[in-house]
Chain A
């Protein structure tokens, strides 16, 4: 496992990568602190910038934003009782009461240190398991990849917030969008409506920016309160958290491992793992009754878990090319567009790139613990920025970034159209992440499915004759049955 790190070291340790890690953490923390934005938004807004950089600095920046953004959400949860991101929803159970007791500095310090240490634990698991999983995946052939893509699509749809049916419909929309472009087997055009702009499908970045950034903008504008400035206690830099966190060392390790494990399951995501590890920490705590009233352990458990999830979600993303959540789906898309195909080949032929990405992840968490503590007073100021300033900035970044991708006005129309679609879907309570997963996994599923049928002498039996693909499909079938039962039953009762 250390070979990877050694090979990646010369790639990662360049001034550009390290600087971008630092900037990425700051940017991620800021965007995580701001309610309504979050790591995904950060990645989305920086995606266009990433394509003007070399692969490793670009990935270092995006990963740092991912890590910083996941940690930053807790700060507004603690200070304002508004989680900056859904990931931090469980943090306010104990973080906010702690702040009410006048210990907001401790709460923030603990959440930052727990996030960072949780991320480091996950990083070690990531470095250890990804190559192993990738090695196993070397036995994968088209039937296995098709089955894996199907399973990934199903899980993300099922586990995403809202109903499983809506999740699946959203995933289906993503699959439909993925069919636009050139058929890779016959070179025939599909749904391109005679325009050259669609021959390689709508630009993924334009779709992502529209779907997430623009639709969020519409929702925020609708919400009003453009000039509100929340009241926040004065914050100072304090290193006391380094001492406090030592008392919670086992909690950190346990929660981080839980988070990593859940994160590695495609679709499970940080919010789920934060709640699960909170529940576990509460059950194991000596003073369980303090949980919910401002227990340090509660903050530590949720934060270690949700940053652990980030590392966990990178495991299937890098080793199989199957993203763990929406943010990693976009990271995966970025890696594709930068010219690298995540999967076993990444470890075999581009071990240095894989190692560089691991180092970027580890370094992000180290930078997080330092900057997260030092910049605490700054976050108080950021929280006071009114929407009237923030929203135009998001619009400006989205538009400039998308246009700069390939100087195409068509991409701006795509962004706008998907902004509208995203807004309508949000209003109707449809999850958006499955759309992106569908768009990314669609071609993987289609190409491998068709290829498997060409390879087969026996029609679709090839999927069942091969033990690995049969197993994966069996899991998918069980999940489908489970969803059907849980969705149909309540309806019968009512």
Chain B
């Protein structure tokens, strides 16, 4: 080998080494690991992913990885490299609730936040033609007179809808038979069929089934929440304090990456997500679907998520209270 060819080889080798470092992130498609089965909520994540992908010039696909109350999705994302090509669609269940229950060994502090995405409040709804209950007070009065007679479903047991439902029952010292449904759509069918008396619904399900349900109260203290349910009254209007405020009685997600992701990559992702969320068309599409863009910045993560974690303990206690009541019937 001549000296020239050695030099050429060395130069080529250096160029090859330098290549990946010089290339601009992102150079290929990104995956966002979504913790639930496909449905209305996933469509909301897809809206953000599409807009963010447009900002970055690559495609962001939302990958549904349901299982174990969201833990499976987090485990999947954690098993990938910390290179920014895998995002966590950080729903409150895998981020806060599962670790709280001891089902996962991370805390919210183990991730690097991008921006917060959306929140959605929950509401108590009855059959559209159910003339027993005109408003929430009727429902509560009925439950006081006939404890445990009514049947209700918050969808999955132990989730946030269940927490806020149980917190409402605890605040009013009433009890109804809990019937869990892994698929909330099926609960709507059974409520329509008269098997269930009321349910704790989310805006996505409400939007699809508007004609079949009447919303008695929105379980939130945020005025915005009422508009996602066609202007239904907030639970506070009935002088009920469910003991959970702001974001904590809602479902919400905060997009995250692995803690050890390079700083420049994090900055690129944050900027793209911020730009996507500030677009009017994105904002409006999310609202139309019943999901309120929250728009919290990465430096508000600690303050907001930390507070919610504390307040969810209250929801957990409400579920324990409810279980005891039901066992005592």
Contact = CB atoms under 8 A, between A and B. Distances in A.
B51 to A, nearest CB: 21
A339 B67 contact: no
Nearest to A349: B208
Contact of B69 (A182, A345, A406): A182
Interface stretch (A21-29, A38-46, A166-174, A184-192): A184-192
A184 B68 CA distance: 9
Contacts of A189: 68
Given A187-B158, A455-B151, A182 B193 contact: no
Given A186-B158, A199-B67, A454-B179, A341 B72 contact: no
Given A182-B67, A184-B156, A349-B208, A199 B179 contact: no
A447 B39 CA distance: 20
Nearest to B79: A196
A364 B99 CA distance: 50
A341 B75 CA distance: 27
A109 interface: no
Interface string A447-461: 100010011000000
Interface stretch (B9-17, B183-191, B234-242, B300-308): B183-191
A321 to B, nearest CB: 11
A138 interface: yes
B156 to A, nearest CB: 7
A142 B193 CA distance: 11
Interface in B184-204: 185-186, 189-190, 193, 195-196
Nearest to B75: A196
Interface string B50-78: 00000000000000111111011001000
Interface in A374-427: 406
B185 A196 contact: no
A200 interface: yes
Interface string B96-122: 000000010000000000000000000
B37 A339 contact: yes
A141 interface: yes
A342 to B, nearest CB: 12
Contacts of B183: 341
Contact of B72 (A199, A345, A451): A199
Nearest to A338: B38
B230 interface: no
Contacts of A184: 156, 180, 182
Given A184-B180, A185-B180, A447-B182, A196 B38 contact: no
B179 A455 contact: yes
A139 interface: yes
Chain B residues touching A, range: 20 to 34
Chain A, interface size category, equals: 20 to 34
Contact of B189 (A196, A345, A454): A345
Given A142-B195, A451-B179, A454-B177, A187 B67 contact: no
A54 to B, nearest CB: 12
Contacts of B182: 184-185, 447
A431 interface: no
Interface string A135-167: 000110110000000000000000000000000
Contact of B193 (A141, A199, A406): A141
A311 interface: no
Contacts of B151: 454-455
Interface string A343-387: 011000100000000000000000000000000000000000000
B90 to A, nearest CB: 17
A297 interface: no
A182 B68 contact: yes
A181 B66 CA distance: 12
B91 to A, nearest CB: 14
Interface in A292-346: 339, 341, 344-345
A176 B199 CA distance: 32
A406 B103 CA distance: 23
B168 to A, nearest CB: 20
Given A182-B69, A339-B39, 14 more contacts: A141-B190, A142-B195, A181-B67, A182-B67, A185-B157, A187-B68, A196-B71, A196-B72, A199-B68, A200-B67, A200-B68, A345-B185, A451-B181, A455-B195
Interface of A: 138-139, 141-142, 181-182, 184-187, 189, 196, 199-200, 339, 341, 344-345, 349, 406, 447, 451, 454-455
Interface of B: 37-39, 64-69, 71-72, 75, 103, 151, 156-158, 177-183, 185-186, 189-190, 193, 195-196, 208
13 contacts: A186-B158, A196-B72, A199-B71, A200-B67, A200-B68, A339-B37, A339-B38, A339-B64, A341-B183, A345-B186, A447-B182, A454-B179, A455-B196
